[in-house]
Structure 1
């Protein structure tokens, strides 16, 4: 699965991405390494909320 597709599907389903919940699924479905998780979230234009630990679209923060 394409990384951007995975991000879009996960955000559409839950409204956010959280490393603790989603990192393993990210690795299994995209084939990307665990260390690339945050890099791809930033590349996709997601906003990280330090208080909740969730990645969301900027408009949803």
Structure 2
């Protein structure tokens, strides 16, 4: 894995967490008092691993052709 690949994976997992926070805000009509950020941030390692697996799976399928 190259350094650029790792940075891309981190950017995608941060993007997923931001989208989850935005979705939560949308569900509560953008009322910031009802949203707690720490429960959302605890899912960062899970999103990182999912993006990592997806990255390697796409590489594996691309090289298999």
Return the TM-score normalized by structure 2: 0.30
Which structure: larger Rg? 2
Larger strand percent = 1
**Larger relative contact order, structure 1 or 2 (CA cutoff 8 Å, min sep 6):** 2
